């Protein structure tokens, strides 16, 4: 995995234990659990990001974590979520009989359930988290099949087991899950979560294990094959949000949902239309793009080319990319001439010698593209050097400027400015907290509807008072064809728009969050 980035704000961990839960009854027959928020500890930071092997091209920089909750006592189940600086949400489950409690991430970008095992002897991380003890459960069934999930900063490995899983008052029987016997990554050492509960499709499940959600539906535990997320993005309020299993809560959204079909099972993937800044098309997705809705990603991730342009337009600044500026200074005029001569844009970088062309896209000189048999022999993208990537970004930017009839001098100046807006290697792009009122909206077209994000929605704040820092919610992630380019609409987007995952009808719905 070549992408290396994270944002400061979403790398913060909880610094103390959970406050007591507050139980409250409701008229719809659901048991709701209110959670209190904790004080920000800016000195306690996430050590690394999670990236699974199955989704290593898709696991955007930062994870969002779900906090302790409980579920309803009817056919619709609710997990209350704790919001920590709009970046971390955890929930609680139980495994075994009697239930052993674990704090997990509810992640629509993966599909396995895993928790630490009592047989984890040699990883320090296991000593700081709850561990599953099979000998203390009367419903445990041995499986023993080995399992391994790779991350950008390490891996977890262990073996499959089978037991009952309790989510609130619902009990999923005979659920296959992974007992992690090794957690070498520092990520898990400092994490407040014990494990992950994936809500993606079985197609990306390690070991082809049946996901928890599938069994909830199969065993008739939910009224409808639907679950929905509501994230409370107001950091001043105690309530963090809810995940509702079996339906939707009308109090969580306004108006009607716009639904789009799932185009590729695995992740919750769908087709997205144009991306606009200040109401003006960026031109990048005018012909359509693919996107996924991922509750496990805090920010909103997209291709470096357009994310850099968005961060430039909102006034965010990153680290200067010397490769980008070198391409502009040495090849800028040549690229412009080739575009004006109506050369094929995808071949320009190979024509000037910075990339080779594999028939569909440019790839780095001397580095062959990888052919994945699972993709029918299509290129799944090889390693790419910075000059090749910078060239392809430059071509796209110049194309957009030529469409606006800009002069050569203006275009080269603009591209140099974009180079300076490229994010740092860790993906951080800062904005002036005093400029929020003058920043443009950034909008995404889904199902023919335009979904706006205002600066208040896409800028995350760290700290308080004079020490407050503001971070752009847009981060770069380049997913190669055939899967990419791909957008990941994480919690920056899902916090603004209530999201329905309709498993029964294979579709996703978005409506303004209430």
Q: Give catalytic residue positions.
A: 107, 294
Alpha-carbon span 480 to 360, nearest angstrom: 11
- Asked if 226 contacts 247 with a C-beta cutoff of 8 angstroms, the reply is yes
Residue with tokens 């029964």: 504
Q: Could you tell me the two tokens for 445?
A: 């077209």
Ordered strands of the 280-281 beta sheet:
280-281, 275-277, 442-446, 449-453
- Asked if 233 contacts 496 with a C-beta cutoff of 8 angstroms, the reply is yes
DSSP single-letter state for residue 254: E
260 in helix, strand or coil? strand
- Could you please report the per-residue DSSP string of 44-99? SB-------STTTTT--S-B--B------SSSSEEEEE--BTTTB-BEEEEETTTT
| Cα–Cα distance list, 341 to 335, 345, 350, 362 (Å) | 10, 10, 16, 19
Q: 3-state DSSP helix/strand/coil percent for the chain, to nearest 5?
A: 25, 35, 45
> How many beta carbons lie within 10 A of that of residue 396, not counting itself?
17
Alpha helix positions (H), 404-462: 408-420, 455-458
> How many beta carbons lie within 10 A of that of residue 98, not counting itself?
12
Q: Could you tell me the two tokens for 279?
A: 């109401």
- Asked if 373 contacts 366 with a C-beta cutoff of 8 angstroms, the reply is no
């Amino acid at each position: 995995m070549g992408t290396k980035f994270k944002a400061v704000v979403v790398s913060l961990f909880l610094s103390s234990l959970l406050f007591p839960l507050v139980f409250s009854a409701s008229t719809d027959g659901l048991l709701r659990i209110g959670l209190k928020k904790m004080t920000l500890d800016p000195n306690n930071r996430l050590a690394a990001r999670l990236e699974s092997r199955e989704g290593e091209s898709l696991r955007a920089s930062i994870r969002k974590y779900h906090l302790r909750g409980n579920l309803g006592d009817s056919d619709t189940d609710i997990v209350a979520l704790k919001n920590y600086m709009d970046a971390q949400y955890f929930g609680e489950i139980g495994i075994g009989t009697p239930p052993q409690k674990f704090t997990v991430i509810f992640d629509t970008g993966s599909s396995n359930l895993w928790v630490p095992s009592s047989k984890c002897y040699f990883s320090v991380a296991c000593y700081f988290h709850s561990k599953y003890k099979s000998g203390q459960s009367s419903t445990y069934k041995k499986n023993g099949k080995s399992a391994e999930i790779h991350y950008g900063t390490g891996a977890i490995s262990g073996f499959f087991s089978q037991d009952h899983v309790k989510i609130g008052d619902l009990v999923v029987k005979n659920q296959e899950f992974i007992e992690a016997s090794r957690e070498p990554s520092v990520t898990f050492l400092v994490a407040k979560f014990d494990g992950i509960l994936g809500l993606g499709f079985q197609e990306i499940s390690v070991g082809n294990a049946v996901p928890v959600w599938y069994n909830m539906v199969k065993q008739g535990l939910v009224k409808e094959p639907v679950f929905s997320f509501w994230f409370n993005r107001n950091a001043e309020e105690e309530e963090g949000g809810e995940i509702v299993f079996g339906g939707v809560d009308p109090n969580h959204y306004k108006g009607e949902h716009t639904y789009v079909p799932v185009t590729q099972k695995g992740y919750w993937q769908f087709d997205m239309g144009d991306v606009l800044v200040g109401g003006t098309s960026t031109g990048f997705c005018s012909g359509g793009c693919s996107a996924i809705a991922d509750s496990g990603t805090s920010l909103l991730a997209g291709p470096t080319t357009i994310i850099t342009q968005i961060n430039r337009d909102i006034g965010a600044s990153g680290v200067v990319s010397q490769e980008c500026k070198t391409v502009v200074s040495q090849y800028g005029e040549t690229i412009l001439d080739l575009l004006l001569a109506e050369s094929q844009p995808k071949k320009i970088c190979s024509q000037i010698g910075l990339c080779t062309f594999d028939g569909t896209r440019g790839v780095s000189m001397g580095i062959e593209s990888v052919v994945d048999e699972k993709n029918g022999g299509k290129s799944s993208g090889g390693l790419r050097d910075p000059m090749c990537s910078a060239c392809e970004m430059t071509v796209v930017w110049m194309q957009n400027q030529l469409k606006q009839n800009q002069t050569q001098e203006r275009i080269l100046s603009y591209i140099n400015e974009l180079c300076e807006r490229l994010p740092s290697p860790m993906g951080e792009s800062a904005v002036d907290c005093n400029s929020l009122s003058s920043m443009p909206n950034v909008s995404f077209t889904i199902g023919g509807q335009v979904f706006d994000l205002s600066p208040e929605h896409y800028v995350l704040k760290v700290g308080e008072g004079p020490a407050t820092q503001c971070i752009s919610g847009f981060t770069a992630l380049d997913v190669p064809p055939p899967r990419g380019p791909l957008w990941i609409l994480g919690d920056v987007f899902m916090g603004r728009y209530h999201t329905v995952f309709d498993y029964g009808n294979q579709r996703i719905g978005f409506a303004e969050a209430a």
